[in-house]
């Protein structure tokens, strides 16, 4: 296979591997830019549990749920805390130290809010963001190569690349310099 064919395969493979990730980032970008266009429903459910009484450390109790122990509130006789997952689902837990009676209020978010959480990249999604960024750079570089090898497109493509890069770099540098 030639270099061109190899890079075309690399370009295609990376793009297809990243397809859902690309869609998640692109759709959430539209959502960030236009907050009212897409619906952001959320649902709350409440369940009651009976846990072992006498636990005074929220960290011990929080291990029962997957996610980050985000907030702890000390109120007399109760442990109240919140556990949040990387994709925004949160559980508000109220635990009676004396009886072990526990109420769990789970907030579940809709698809577009979940995509926004993917975009802001918490937890393991931070590594996804790094891989996504490297993939995006590779797509860009291989895309430029594939375009450049297509001789009939060089003039128009070159003009578009120069125009786009000229505007973008010009604005970035100009605004940074003040």
**Stretch touching another protein by CB under 8 A, among 10-18, 41-49, 52-60, 92-100:** 10-18
Shortest distance (Å) from residue 49 CB to another protein: 21
- Options 55, 121, 145, 149; binder of another protein; rule CB under 8 A: 121
Place of tokens 């430029």: 144
Question: How many C-beta atoms lie closer than 10 Å to residue 79's C-beta?
Answer: 21
Hey, is 48 helix, strand or coil?
strand
Give the DSSP per-residue string, 76-122.
TTEEEEEEE-TTS-EEEEEEETTT-EEEEEEEEE-HHHHHHHHHHT-
Q: How many residues bind another protein (CB under 8 A)?
A: 64
Angle at 113 between CA 111 and CA 114, to 5 degrees: 60
Shortest distance (Å) from residue 176 CB to another protein: 6
Question: How many C-beta atoms lie closer than 10 Å to residue 51's C-beta?
Answer: 15
Size (the chain), residues: 178
Which residues between 33 and 92 bind another protein (CB under 8 A)? 33-34, 85-87, 89
Q: Which is nearer to another protein, 22 or 51 (CB)?
A: 22
Q: Which is nearer to another protein, 104 or 128 (CB)?
A: 128
Q: Which is nearer to another protein, 53 or 166 (CB)?
A: 166
- Rounded distance between C-alpha atoms, residue 113 and residue 88, angstroms: 8
Q: Which is nearer to another protein, 72 or 172 (CB)?
A: 172
Q: Which is nearer to another protein, 81 or 125 (CB)?
A: 125
End-to-end CA distance of the chain: 49
Contact positions vs another protein (CB under 8 A): 9, 12-27, 29-30, 32-34, 85-87, 89, 114, 121, 123-130, 132-134, 136-137, 139-140, 143-144, 147, 150, 153, 156-157, 160-161, 163-165, 167-169, 171-172, 174-176, 178
């Amino acid at each position: 296979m030639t270099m061109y064919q190899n890079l075309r395969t690399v370009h295609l493979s990376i793009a297809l591997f990243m397809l859902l990730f690309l869609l998640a980032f692109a759709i959430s970008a539209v959502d960030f830019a236009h907050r009212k266009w897409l619906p952001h429903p959320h649902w709350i459910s409440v369940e009651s549990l009976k846990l072992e009484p006498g636990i005074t450390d929220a960290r011990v109790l929080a291990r029962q749920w997957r996610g980050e122990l985000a907030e702890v509130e000390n109120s007399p006789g109760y442990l109240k805390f919140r556990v949040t997952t990387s994709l925004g689902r949160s559980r508000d837990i109220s635990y009676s130290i004396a009886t072990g009676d526990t109420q769990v209020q789970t907030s579940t978010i809709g698809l577009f809010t979940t995509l926004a959480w993917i975009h802001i990249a918490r937890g393991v999604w931070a590594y996804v963001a790094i891989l996504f960024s490297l993939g995006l750079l590779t797509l860009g570089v291989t895309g430029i190569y594939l375009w450049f090898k297509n001789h009939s497109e060089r003039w128009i493509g070159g003009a578009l690349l120069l125009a786009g890069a000229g505007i973008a770099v010009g604005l970035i540098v100009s605004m940074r310099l003040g």
